[in-house]
Amino acid sequence: MSEERPPLRIVISDPRAGNKIVKVKVKGVDDIEYTDDMRKTKEKERTKLPIARVSKELYDKLKLNEVGTMTLRFRSEQGRKNIPFKVEVSNKLSENEVEINMELLGEVIGNLEAEAEAFRTKTWQIAVPEDVAVRLAGLEINDVFDGMLIGYEGLRLRIRGGSDATGIPMHPGVPGAGKKKMLLSGPPGFHPNEKGERKRKLVRGRAVPDPRGERRKTALAQLNVSIVYESREKKS
């Protein structure tokens, strides 16, 4: 990753995630890898999701076969903690039993066993190295690209928008990757307090910029994408 610019964060949304929640027992084990690029303490720079081992029953119940991503919600005196995981199936686990790395569980809850709520992840983020960001350059809002580019083989992802390190959003009405002031009546870029209110605001173009031409403080920091499902695309 570049020392001059922060990594680009890709925020992935799953429109089929649903609302099903299953209570599970989580156990910390030492035979699941937990590398530095998965760490919860480095969430904004995390390039991989940590791994959770689940039963086939839970895998089917939450319909994890399409994306393979599940969130565990832990509750403690400090509040709720939601952590997304890439899932692996084990035939040795009972229906509502989940295993994760013991070090990670210790970071989250301070114990080797815990109760949690499991659900199919609606939104999660990963950081991508500069060479991947360069390959995304030139794509625009509503363009679709192969998820293999960011480590999600078999998925197609549609660009929905994004924002830079100062919070300036991409706008579908502005061509290119530069910045421009526009008179806005709604998002992205402006949320009116009154009906009919309009305001001139600075926005970014609809194209993903080449990170090599951007300055650290104003570089594109987040790209929002959603998973494309063929059945929905054909109906629309």
**Run of H or E residues at 126:** strand 123-128
pLDDT of residue 1: 39
pLDDT reading at 27 higher than 80: yes
The full length of the chain comes to 236
* Residue bearing the bigger pLDDT, 35 or 236: 35
What is the predicted pLDDT for the residue at 233?
46
Q: Is residue 104's pLDDT more than 60?
A: yes
Question: How sure is the predictor about 43, in pLDDT bands with cuts at 50, 70 and 90?
Answer: low
The dihedral over CA atoms of 223, 226, 228, 233, expressed in degrees to the nearest 10, equals -100
In contact, 218 and 6? CB cutoff 8 Å: no
pLDDT at 169: 93
Give 162-212 pLDDT, tens digit per residue: 999 889 999 999 999 989 898 877 788 777 788 878 888 889 999 999 988
Look at residue 40 in the predicted model and tell me its pLDDT.
57
Residue pointed to by tokens 């939450």: 62
Residue 5: pLDDT band by 50, 70, 90 thresholds?
Answer: low
The conformation of residue 153, written as its DSSP 8-state character, comes to T
Two tokens, residue 216: 């650290």
* Residue-level pLDDT at 236: 43
Q: For all residues of the chain together, what is the average pLDDT?
A: 89
Q: Are strands 79-89 and 69-76 parallel, antiparallel or unpaired?
A: antiparallel
**Type of residue numbered 37:** D
Q: Give the mean model confidence (pLDDT) for residues 2-24.
A: 87
> Among 130, 159, 134, 149, which residue's Cα sits nearest to residue 210?
134
Instruction: Calculate the alpha carbon distances from 226 to 71, 121, 216 in Å.
Output: 17, 12, 26
Q: What is the pTM of this model?
A: 0.88
Residue 58 is predicted with a pLDDT of 96
Confirm if 7 and 1 have CB atoms less than 8 A apart: yes
The mean-pLDDT minimum among 35-49, 137-151, 217-231 falls in 35-49
Count of CB atoms situated within 10 Å of the CB of 144: 14
The pLDDT of residue 184 is: 79
CB of 162 within 8 A of CB of 206?
Answer: no
Cα torsion 212, 216, 217, 223 to 10°: value is: 60
What residue segments make up the domains of the chain, in order of their start? 18-121, 126-229
Q: Beta-strand (E) ranges in 41-112? A: 51-54, 69-76, 79-89, 97-101
Q: Please tell me the predicted confidence (pLDDT) of residue 2.
A: 41
Which CATH number applies to 18-121: 3.10.129.10, 3.30.300.30, 1.10.357.10, 2.40.40.20?
Answer: 2.40.40.20
Q: How far is CA 33 from CA 28, 47, 84, 199, 228, in A?
A: 11, 14, 15, 50, 30
62 with 97: CB under 8 angstroms? no
Looking at residue 4, what is its pLDDT?
A: 57
Q: Please check the confidence at residue 149 and state whether its pLDDT lies above 80.
A: yes
Using the structure block, give the residue that is written with the tokens 């890439």.
86
- Whether the upstream peptide bond of residue 129 has omega within 30° of 0, thus cis, is no
Strand partners, 156: 146, 228
